[in-house]
Amino acid sequence: MKLTLKRNLIEFYDYVSVIPLFFYIGLIYQSLCQREIRPFLFAIYILLSDIFVSLLKRFPYPKNSPFYIHTRRPKGASRCDYLSRNTEYSDESPGFPSGHMTTTALFSTYQMMNHPTLNYIIIHGLLVIVMGMARYYKKCHTLLQIGTGTLLGIGFGLLYVFGETYFNGHYT
């Protein structure tokens, strides 16, 4: 019974890990349907933050550094990319910080700041929590990697909201 339950959770978390792709698709779709540039620019901003996180993961930490162990994925990491198509990851592959968490926290922060209602806060707060659980239970990231990715996402989200507010106040 435990193996079946664990397998079902992993399959559920595989689906959860695909959610950030829907942010891109939804924003581009919204931009095309409403003929607005703002959602498209936000999708580009999310993509740029994802590229920044990818560059952070590629930073060459020396193996003798005490921080090196925290930059690697946990043992047993599997199906850690967006479409869960890869099998096993090496514990030598980079995982710091979590890109899924950065993207999810960025999108959720933006939504909560633009729609500060209880419903939006609960839905997007739960989205961040479930994504963190998915990344942890799939053994794709440690809690440090998940927390750092979340904090980066919140920071990027706040930066975008404040930048957008400043731009709209001065140039529109």
Q: What's the confidence (pLDDT) of residue 117?
A: 95
Q: What's the confidence (pLDDT) of residue 133?
A: 93
Distances (CA, A) of 28 to 38, 46, 52, 160, 167: 10, 12, 21, 17, 21
Q: What is the mean pLDDT of each run of 10 residues along the chain (172 residues)?
A: 50 86 94 94 96 90 86 81 59 84 97 94 96 90 95 97 87 67
pTM listed for this prediction? 0.87
Tell me if 77 sits within 8 A of 88, measured CB to CB: yes
User: How many Å apart are CA 42 and CA 104, to the nearest integer?
Assistant: 13
Q: What's the confidence (pLDDT) of residue 3?
A: 41
Q: What's the confidence (pLDDT) of residue 89?
A: 60
Structure tokens at 72: 């690697």
Q: What's the confidence (pLDDT) of residue 85?
A: 56
Q: What's the confidence (pLDDT) of residue 1?
A: 39
